[in-house]
Amino acid sequence: MNPQVPTKGVLAALWLPTDANGNLLTHELGQNLAFLKSHGIHGVLALGSTGEFPQFDIEQRKRALATMAELAAPLPVIANVSDIRPRAVAEVGRFARQIGLPAIAIMTPGFFPSSQDDVLAHFLHAADTSGLPTFLYNFPELTGTRINLETVAAFADRAPMAGIKQSGREFDYHKDLIRLGKEKNFVVFSGADTRLLEIFAFGAAGCIGGLVNIAPELMVHLYRVCCEGAAGSPHPAFERLQKIGEIVDRLTFPLNIGAGMEARRLHVGEPKAVVSPRSREIYDGIAMDLRTLFAEWGLAPAAGAAALRAAGAA
């Protein structure tokens, strides 16, 4: 396995700021990544669900991957190549290899129902065409199809499986995946940002989370205390993450992540989808309430982002 492939730690399921035409705001993304890196994150998942990858065409995804690879360095970047179209999966995966990314991630195709045999074939196609170690990415609430344990095992037997990201409501599934990972030699990352104490107690290797964009220092602290034996208590950070989760859950994902980032004065850009006035009102309320909490907790606004905004207003 490539030593650059992430096998543990806190990875950001990275938010991608774009302009009104859907173009990536490179300088602003760089400011956001500098903020995350300053708090000790261990890597990045590029073009995941938090990054709203279905909103980008293939060429935009390739440009975004190249940009993230440059801006995130020296952190490892996992390229999510998920798509309903096998051609798109192959093209993005080959590009990820060409620019030197260490691994890809792949979800079930989505929209149309898929049998587990077809899901496995889709995953094998992604691994074969990319030539890279592969993370499976289970999020059935978004894709409509669960990755069953037998499918994970079959993929691990036939392809270079690096790990799996488990997201969604089926929390106890982490236990089955971690047991299988020990048998088949792959790692499990979790998207359950507000339940990290339990996740780490189960034996997960780390997390790949949307809340990392908002409060990376809390998540890195939890990881260091729970998984690396660092001094300190995990409970204050854990309780704060749960409170953040309660507040952002007023709004649908992933727009709620943007609201939390607004509270840290990070760059969110323009919405990639149509947002109703009601959702905008909730969004603003989340940002306001979190801004108050962050001030109470001493979580400072992102300095680079604040400076960039000030320069733009001058």
Q: Please determine, for residue 310, whether its predicted confidence score (pLDDT) is greater than 70.
A: no
What is the tens place of the pLDDT at every residue in 79-92?
999 999 999 999 99
Which pLDDT score, from 0 to 100, does residue 193 have?
96
Q: Please determine, for residue 306, whether its predicted confidence score (pLDDT) is greater than 50.
A: no
Single out the residue of 155, 156, 160 nearest to residue 122, CA to CA: 155
Which pLDDT score, from 0 to 100, does residue 3 have?
72
Gap between the Cα atoms of 166 and 314, Å rounded: 45
- Name the residue with tokens 């300095």: 303
What is the tens place of the pLDDT at every residue in 103-126?
999 999 999 999 999 999 999 999
Gap between the Cα atoms of 13 and 258, Å rounded: 12
Single out the residue of 182, 202, 109 nearest to residue 147, CA to CA: 109
Q: What would the 3-class secondary structure string for 210-254 be? A: CHHHCCHHHHHHHHHHHHHCCCCCCHHHHHHHHHHHHHHCCCCCC
User: Two tokens at 198?
Assistant: 């339990």
Which pLDDT score, from 0 to 100, does residue 2 have?
76
- Name the residue with tokens 């705001």: 25
Q: Please determine, for residue 59, whether its predicted confidence score (pLDDT) is greater than 90.
A: yes
Q: Please determine, for residue 232, whether its predicted confidence score (pLDDT) is greater than 90.
A: yes
Q: Tell me the pLDDT band of 1, cut-offs 50, 70 and 90.
A: low
Which pLDDT score, from 0 to 100, does residue 37 have?
98
Q: Which residues make Cβ contacts (< 8 Å) with residue 265, sequence separation at least 6?
A: 301, 302, 305, 306, 309
Q: Tell me the pLDDT band of 25, cut-offs 50, 70 and 90.
A: very high
Single out the residue of 139, 167, 170, 137 nearest to residue 152, CA to CA: 137
pTM of the model: 0.94
Which pLDDT score, from 0 to 100, does residue 307 have?
42
Rg value, the chain, Cα? 18
What is the tens place of the pLDDT at every residue in 137-188?
999 999 999 999 999 999 999 999 999 999 999 999 999 999 999 999 999 9
In order of their start, the domains of the chain are: 9-232 (3.20.20.70)
What is the tens place of the pLDDT at every residue in 274-291?
999 999 999 999 999 999
Under 8 Å between Cβ of 14 and 51: yes
- Name the residue with tokens 């323009």: 270
Q: Please determine, for residue 308, whether its predicted confidence score (pLDDT) is greater than 80.
A: no
